[in-house]
Amino acid sequence: MSFLEYAPAPESRSVVDIAPSYGLFIDGAFVPASSSGGVFKTVNPASEEVLAEVASAGAEDVDLAVAAARRAFGPWSALPGAERAKYLFRIARIIQERSRELAVLESLDNGKPIRESRDVDVPLVAAHFFYYAGWADKLKYAGFGPDPRPLGVAAQVIPWNFPLLMLAWKVAPALAAGNTVVLKPAETTPLSALFFADICQQAELPPGVVNIITGAGETGRALVEHPGVDKVAFTGSTEVGRQIARSVAGTRKRLTLELGGKAANIVFDDAPIDQAVEGIVNGIFFNQGHVCCAGSRLLVQESAYDEVLTALKRRMATLRVGDPLDKNTDVGAINSAAQLARIRELSEVGATEGAERWSPPCELPAQGFWFAPTIFTGVTQAHRIAREEIFGPVLSVLTFRTPDEAIEKANNTPYGLSAGIWSDKGSLILAMADKLRAGVVWANTFNKFDPTSPFGGYKESGYGREGGRHGLEAYLA
Ligand code: NAD
């Protein structure tokens, strides 16, 4: 089968001006790291080109950032909610005004397709600030008592898969509730958080209300363990989440954790198959599968298996893998060499354990980190690829006969972040959703996000909710 060829449609890189080096954003100003810190480089995963050198915060820098946030907390929390809202609205508008620049920057540093950073990440980032701006003067109506109080200084540590969006999920509710923030972005994607710091300056946010400290795991550890923080919010791996839960236990710090997932995307034989296939593709190949709530386990009813698999393979053959800045690209670069190695390793294990591996023919660029969209069939629940999070464009396909069997298999995981159901029967969808142990259940769609909707997990996927009215609770006493 041959497909129409597309002409290249590159977004212009010149809309973003990346400096050769960046300092830490502490107390409203960019400063170099102290002698306890250092520097590291951030690369474009699609080309391995160094984008910038970034400061790595050491213990002294963490002290300075927490102290700045502490000083800012009194005046910031004393502002009337309507005044805090003005800053948040201003930030939201600046994000919209600078959306093209932010989208290109995010695609350069992360490797995600520009179509996604432009149409999903950045619009959602602005929407989160707009949404929580609206709450800032209505906190006493949020359902957490007549006089909810902010907690103080929030230490926030985020991963690399949705750098600016995870920042928005954490910073917007924290500020709306009157807290101040020290945020550490992931070491492979620090740039959009640093551009956000610039946006805070542009919005004339009072110094110290938002502090951005870059660095790797050690910087994150120093931040969450700092005695001067009142609240820890972490998104990342279950392993690091466990370490943080241990270090915070016995302190007065409040904690929310958003961790991994291994979501079941369940397709019944009465589902609209073409729509379901779009949902399967979106569920696992969106953002290269670097999605905690990715539909990484496809459960197909046996009676629809052949039809679904044939349609899925046909659809996968049309996915365009390549330059993240090309507007036609569906699947971009894997975020780092380390992540690529993890995806390769687990995929090898899948094949050795006896599952059958399939990818459409696709030419991968010579430079950069790439992995072809892949499915494994003949997967059993005992296979590692059915149990462990791969966090890449790799789908494990299992089958079921009855709704009960689907529930049992879907819930047979230590995680519980999300799930999808595809069926024509509303009653079946509702009955299934009731029994699925997952924080979010999508029906006849997948990977849909909205600031008004709470998001979070069961079991090893973490605790606490981000988004919606529920998301405020994590930042209020
Ligand atoms: P990671 O846990 O290694 O890193 C996440 C962040 O934590 C990074 O900023 C890192 O520097 C920092 N960090 C590392 N060690 C630390 C420590 N000891 N103390 C404090 N901070 C530390 O995870 P990752 O590889 O960046 O992200 C992938 C994982 O994140 C996946 O497992 C994915 O499922 C999960 N994730 C979950 C959600 C969610 O909402 N539940 C969202 C995105 C990603």
Task: Indicate whether residue 161 lines ligand 1 (CB < 6 A).
Answer: yes
Pick the catalytic residue from 292, 293, 388, 473.
292
Asked about 5 being catalytic, the answer comes back as no
pLDDT exceeds 80 at position 413: yes
With vertex at residue 105, the alpha carbon angle to CA 100 and CA 111, rounded to the nearest 5 degrees, is 120
- Specify the DSSP element, H or E, that contains 430: helix 426-435
Distance CA 390, CA 294 (A): 10
Task: Indicate whether residue 28 lines ligand 1 (CB < 6 A).
Answer: no
Q: What percent of the chain has pLDDT over 70?
A: 99
Task: Indicate whether residue 245 lines ligand 1 (CB < 6 A).
Answer: no
Q: Which atom of ligand 1 is nearest to the CA of 261?
A: 34
What's the pLDDT at 5? 80
Query: What's the mean pLDDT in 357-386?
Result: 97
CA distances (Å), origin 129, targets 96, 126, 139, 140: 11, 5, 15, 19
- CA-closest candidate to residue 220, choices 412, 14, 62, 99: 62
Asked about 258 being catalytic, the answer comes back as yes
**CATH 3.40.605.10 domain span(s) along the chain:** 13-259+461-473
- Tokens at 396, concatenated: 């494990």
pLDDT tens digits, 111-140? 999 999 999 999 999 999 999 999 999 999
Q: Model's pTM, two decimal places?
A: 0.97
- CB contact at 8 A, 148 and 177: yes
- CB contact at 8 A, 350 and 379: yes
CA distances (Å), origin 272, targets 267, 276, 296, 454: 9, 6, 20, 27
Q: Which long-range contacts (CB under 8 A, 24 or more apart) does 355-359 make?
A: 355/379, 355/383, 355/385, 355/396, 358/313, 359/316
pLDDT tens digits, 265-275? 999 999 999 99
Task: Indicate whether residue 243 lines ligand 1 (CB < 6 A).
Answer: yes
Q: 13-259+461-473 in CATH: which number?
A: 3.40.605.10
Tell me which fold the domain 264-450 belongs to: Aldehyde Dehydrogenase; Chain A, domain 2 (3.40.309)
Nearest residue by C-alpha to atom 12 in ligand 1: 217
What's the pLDDT at 6? 87
pLDDT exceeds 90 at position 252: yes
**CATH 3.40.309.10 domain span(s) along the chain:** 264-450
Q: Which atom of ligand 1 is nearest to the CA of 239?
A: 2
Kindly give the distance from the C-alpha atom of residue 159 to the centroid of ligand 1, in angstroms, as a whole number. 5
Torsion 330-290-470-131 (CA) sign: negative
Nearest residue by C-alpha to atom 13 in ligand 1: 217
How high does pLDDT run on average in the chain? 97
Burial of 274 (0-12, 13-18, 19+ CB in 10 A): exposed
Task: Indicate whether residue 221 lines ligand 1 (CB < 6 A).
Answer: yes
Task: Indicate whether residue 106 lines ligand 1 (CB < 6 A).
Answer: no
pLDDT exceeds 70 at position 3: no
pLDDT tens digits, 455-470? 999 999 999 999 999 9
Biggest CA-to-CA distance, the chain: 66
What's the pLDDT at 465? 95
Kindly give the distance from the C-alpha atom of residue 259 to the centroid of ligand 1, in angstroms, as a whole number. 7
Mutate to test the pocket of ligand 1, among 240, 293, 388 (most ligand atoms within 8 A of CB): 240
Across-strand partners of 266? 299, 421
Task: Indicate whether residue 212 lines ligand 1 (CB < 6 A).
Answer: no
Kindly give the distance from the C-alpha atom of residue 183 to the centroid of ligand 1, in angstroms, as a whole number. 13
